[in-house]
């Protein structure tokens, strides 16, 4: 075998509960990952040295050197299996998942590279073994190997599949005209949480990250929706209401139970998102949320036809760069050609 192609999905977070900053610079999370039918394709071929070429949506923003997450995944798999130590891999990524959009596109490409090289090298790692290698590459990479609807803990890499009945939900994505950096959004959340409460006390300690510069946010810039000065939960909690709604396969209830602790921080850095979310709700979305660290917003529709109507309405309202429909859950990284 000289060439393998893998298809790998984007994710949204149906819930993202963020705990305090840890000494290692990460935050403890409880999150409900959900893989959706917006895919990148990752091909690998035997070559003399490692290389990566990126094409498609937002390709210019993706590093095409050793910093590329897919190449880091190739090196991590080589180290874990001692396979193919002497030869290189040419990785080709065809992107449809927008970059720096809160949809874990870079993590998806890394997961795609892991699954593809496992096949190319006949390394024989199980999905669980691949998830362990993936966890060392980035917080969301293991989920992109697995797909489906999965509860993530730790920094997002400790996964437990959600025991929910097979269902198909219809989502609309609103892609923003701009980007957000994940570390900057987490940093903004830490700053929001450190703002003094009306009584004069900050809402909690943020761990041991060096002190951040004073918040550039004037009170009028703070998000509405009861999200300013968000409290720090001692340990993030899984939403029992969301899990019950998923178990019941009840889209209306799921829509009401969506939640993202990073949303206030994302809106503080990208205030236009407030309008995008409001427009989706106005057009009858069952739920509206910023995806991960943003700036993509996603909306739950009542069904396939409603998703089309919602996509048309959002696109006409001029509240985002473009829209897409997607269904979920879908499987994780899957070989489509060998």
Catalog residues that contact ligand C5P under the rule CB under 6 A.
25-27, 29, 138-140, 155-156, 182-183, 186
- Furthest CA-CA distance within the chain: 66
Question: Which residue's CB is nearer to ligand C5P, number 144 or number 323?
Answer: 144
Question: Which residue's CB is nearer to ligand C5P, number 137 or number 173?
Answer: 137
Point out the catalytic residue in the list 11, 28, 109, 190: 11
Minimum gap (Å) between residue 192 Cβ and ligand C5P:
14
Name the packing angle between helices 127-137 and 69-81 (round to 10°). 130
Rounded alpha-carbon distances, angstroms, from residue 71 to 37, 39, 68, 191, 279: 24, 19, 5, 33, 39
DSSP per position, 50-96: -EEEEEETTGGGS--STT-HHHHHHHHHHHHH-TTTT-EEEEEEEE-
Q: In the beta sheet, which residues pair with residue 202?
A: 196
Question: Which residue's CB is nearer to ligand C5P, number 67 or number 225?
Answer: 67
Strand locations in the chain (E): 3-21, 27-47, 51-56, 88-95, 149-154, 158-161, 169-175, 259-260, 287-290, 297-301, 322-328, 334-337
For the four alpha carbons of 257, 261, 263 and 268, in that order, the dihedral sign comes to positive
Question: Which residue's CB is nearer to ligand C5P, number 182 or number 291?
Answer: 182
Point out the catalytic residue in the list 40, 140, 190, 261: 140
Minimum gap (Å) between residue 103 Cβ and ligand C5P:
12
**The two three-digit tokens of residue 220, written as one number:** 């009028």
Q: Are 222 and 228 in contact (CB under 8 A)?
A: yes
Instruction: Specify whether 109 is catalytic.
Output: no
Contacts of 282 (CB under 8 A, 6+ apart): none
Instruction: Specify whether 11 is catalytic.
Output: yes
Question: Which residue's CB is nearer to ligand C5P, number 280 or number 292?
Answer: 292
Q: Annotated catalytic sites, by residue?
A: 11, 140
């Amino acid at each position: 075998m000289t060439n393998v192609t893998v298809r790998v999905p984007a994710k949204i977070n149906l819930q993202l509960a963020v705990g305090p900053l840890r000494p290692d610079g990460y935050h403890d999370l409880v999150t409900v990952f959900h893989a959706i039918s917006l895919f990148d394709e990752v091909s690998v071929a035997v070559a003399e040295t490692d290389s990566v070429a990126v094409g498609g949506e937002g390709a210019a923003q993706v590093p095409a050197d050793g910093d590329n997450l897919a190449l880091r995944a190739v090196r991590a798999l080589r180290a874990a299996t001692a396979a193919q130590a002497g030869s290189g891999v040419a990785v080709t990524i065809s992107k449809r998942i927008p970059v720096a959009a809160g949809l874990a596109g870079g993590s998806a490409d890394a997961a795609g590279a892991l699954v593809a090289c496992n096949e190319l090298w006949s390394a024989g790692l199980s999905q669980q073994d691949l998830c362990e290698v993936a966890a060392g590459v980035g917080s969301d990479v293991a989920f992109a190997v697995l797909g489906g609807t999965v509860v993530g803990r730790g920094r997002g890499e400790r996964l437990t599949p959600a025991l929910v009945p097979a269902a198909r939900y219809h989502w609309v994505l609103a892609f923003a005209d701009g980007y957000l950096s994940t570390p900057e959004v987490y940093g903004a959340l830490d700053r929001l949480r450190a703002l003094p409460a009306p009584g004069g006390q900050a809402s909690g300690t943020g761990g041991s990250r060096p002190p951040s510069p004073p918040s550039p946010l004037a009170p009028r810039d703070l998000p509405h929706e009861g999200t300013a000065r968000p409290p720090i939960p001692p340990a993030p909690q899984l939403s029992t209401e969301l899990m019950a709604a998923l178990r019941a396969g009840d889209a209306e209830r799921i829509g009401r139970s969506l939640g993202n602790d990073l949303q206030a921080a994302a809106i503080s850095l990208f205030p236009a998102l407030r309008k995008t979310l409001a427009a989706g709700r106005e057009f009858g979305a069952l739920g509206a949320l910023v995806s991960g660290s943003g700036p993509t917003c996603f909306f739950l529709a009542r069904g396939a036809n409603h998703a089309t109507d919602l996509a048309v309405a959002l696109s006409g309202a001029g509240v985002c760069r473009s829209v897409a429909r997607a269904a979920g859950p879908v499987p994780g990284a899957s070989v489509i050609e060998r």
